Amino acid sequence: MINNKKLSLEPYKGTRDFYPEDQFVQNYIFSVWRKVAESFGYLEYGASILEETDLYRAKTGEEIVNEQTYSFTDRGGRDVTIRPEMTPTIARMVAQKRKELVFPLRWYSIPNLFRYERPQRGRLREHWQLNVDLFGADSAEADAEIINVAHSIMKAFGASGESFEIRVNNRRLTDHLLKEHLKLDKDEAHKASKLIDRMHKMKDTEFTAAMTSLIAGKTKMLMDILYVKSLDELGKKIPDSQGAKELDELMLKLEALGIKNTVYDPALMRGFDYYTGNVFEIYDTSPANNRALFGGGRYDDLVGIFGVEKVPGVGFGMGDVTMRDFLETHGLLPTPQPTVEAFVGHLEGYIGEASKLAAELRGQGVNTAVDFTDRKVSAQVKAADKQNIPFVVVVGEEEIKSGQFKVKDLKNSKEQTVSRAGITNFIKKLK
Ligand code: HAM
Shortest-distance Cα residue to atom 9 of ligand 1 = 294
Q: So what's the pLDDT on residue 201?
A: 86
List Cα–Cα distances, 189 to 63, 138, 175, in angstroms.
16, 25, 8
| 385 Cα: distance to centroid of ligand 1 (angstroms) | 40
**What is the average per-residue pLDDT within 19-37?**
97
List Cα–Cα distances, 249 to 144, 183, 296, in angstroms.
9, 26, 18
Fold equal for 20-329 and 342-430: no
pLDDT digits (tens, 9 = 90+) for 381-406: 999 999 999 999 999 999 999 999 99
Which of 68, 86, 129 is the best mutation target for the ligand 1 pocket, counting ligand atoms within 8 Å of the beta carbon and taking the most? 129
The angle at the Cα of 241, spanning 237 to 247, to the nearest 5 degrees, equals 100
Q: So what's the pLDDT on residue 157?
A: 98
| 183 Cα: distance to centroid of ligand 1 (angstroms) | 31
Maximal CA-CA distance, the chain: 95
| 270 Cα: distance to centroid of ligand 1 (angstroms) | 10
**What is the average per-residue pLDDT within 220-241?**
87
Shortest-distance Cα residue to atom 5 of ligand 1 = 317
Choose the weakest-confidence range: 39-48, 139-148, 219-228, 332-341. 219-228
Shortest-distance Cα residue to atom 14 of ligand 1 = 319
Q: So what's the pLDDT on residue 195?
A: 92
**What is the average per-residue pLDDT within 42-53?**
97
Q: How confident is the model at residue 234 (pLDDT cuts 50, 70, 90)?
A: confident
User: If 0-12 CB within 10 Å is exposed, 13-18 middle and 19+ buried, where does residue 190 land?
Assistant: middle
DSSP annotation string for 34-80: HHHHHHTTPEE----SEEETHHHHHHT-HIIIIII-EEEE-TTS-EE
> 270: phi > 0 → left, psi -120 to 50 → alpha, else beta; which?
left
**318/288 Cα distance (integer angstroms):** 20
pLDDT digits (tens, 9 = 90+) for 236-268: 888 888 999 999 999 999 999 999 999 999 999
Q: So what's the pLDDT on residue 305?
A: 93
**What is the average per-residue pLDDT within 335-356?**
95
pLDDT, the chain, mean: 94
Read off φ and ψ for residue 124, nearest 5 degrees: -130, 180
Q: Which atom of ligand 1 is nearest to the CA of 299?
A: 32
Q: How confident is the model at residue 60 (pLDDT cuts 50, 70, 90)?
A: low
| 107 Cα: distance to centroid of ligand 1 (angstroms) | 17
DSSP code of residue 168: E
Q: Is 381 in the pocket of ligand 1 (CB under 6 A)?
A: no
Q: Is 109 in the pocket of ligand 1 (CB under 6 A)?
A: no
**What is the average per-residue pLDDT within 114-127?**
96
Choose the weakest-confidence range: 270-279, 311-320, 355-364. 270-279
Q: Which residues share a beta bridge with 108?
A: 44, 132
**What is the average per-residue pLDDT within 356-369?**
98
Residue 133: name the closest of 261, 265, 298, 5 by CA: 298
Q: Is 241 in the pocket of ligand 1 (CB under 6 A)?
A: no
pTM of the model: 0.94
| 304 Cα: distance to centroid of ligand 1 (angstroms) | 22
The contacts of residue 235 (CB under 8 Å, 6+ apart) are 244
Shortest-distance Cα residue to atom 10 of ligand 1 = 294
Q: So what's the pLDDT on residue 263?
A: 94
Q: Is 321 in the pocket of ligand 1 (CB under 6 A)?
A: yes
Shortest-distance Cα residue to atom 21 of ligand 1 = 123
Q: So what's the pLDDT on residue 252?
A: 96
Give the amino acid at 327.
L
- The answer, yes or no, to whether residue 271 has pLDDT greater than 90, is no
pLDDT digits (tens, 9 = 90+) for 100-120: 999 999 999 999 999 999 999
DSSP annotation string for 356-405: HHHHHHHHTT--EEE--S-S-HHHHHHHHHHTT--EEEEE-HHHHHH-EE
User: If 0-12 CB within 10 Å is exposed, 13-18 middle and 19+ buried, where does residue 46 land?
Assistant: exposed
Higher pLDDT, 76 or 200: 76
**What is the average per-residue pLDDT within 195-218?**
91
List Cα–Cα distances, 290 to 238, 282, 325, in angstroms.
30, 11, 11
**60/406 Cα distance (integer angstroms):** 62
Which of 13, 29, 85 is the best mutation target for the ligand 1 pocket, counting ligand atoms within 8 Å of the beta carbon and taking the most? 85
| 272 Cα: distance to centroid of ligand 1 (angstroms) | 10
Q: So what's the pLDDT on residue 236?
A: 85
Q: Is 312 in the pocket of ligand 1 (CB under 6 A)?
A: no
User: How many CB atoms sit inside 10 A of residue 199's CB?
Assistant: 18
The contacts of residue 293 (CB under 8 Å, 6+ apart) are 164, 281, 282, 283, 284, 318, 319, 322, 323, 326
Domain residue extents for the chain: 20-329, 342-430
Q: Is 165 in the pocket of ligand 1 (CB under 6 A)?
A: no
Q: Is 296 in the pocket of ligand 1 (CB under 6 A)?
A: yes
For 186-191, which contacts have Cβ atoms below 8 Å and span 24 or more sequence positions? 188/214, 188/215
* The pairing of beta strand 50-52 with beta strand 79-82: antiparallel
**218/43 Cα distance (integer angstroms):** 47
Q: Is 315 in the pocket of ligand 1 (CB under 6 A)?
A: yes
Q: Is 292 in the pocket of ligand 1 (CB under 6 A)?
A: yes
CATH of the structural domain 20-329, one choice from 3.30.930.10, 3.30.300.20, 3.40.50.620, 3.40.605.10: 3.30.930.10
pLDDT digits (tens, 9 = 90+) for 77-95: 999 999 999 999 999 999 9
Q: So what's the pLDDT on residue 2?
A: 56
Q: What is the CATH number of domain 342-430?
A: 3.40.50.800
Task: Look at residue 120 and give its three-state secondary structure.
Answer: strand
**What is the average per-residue pLDDT within 266-292?**
92
**405/393 Cα distance (integer angstroms):** 7
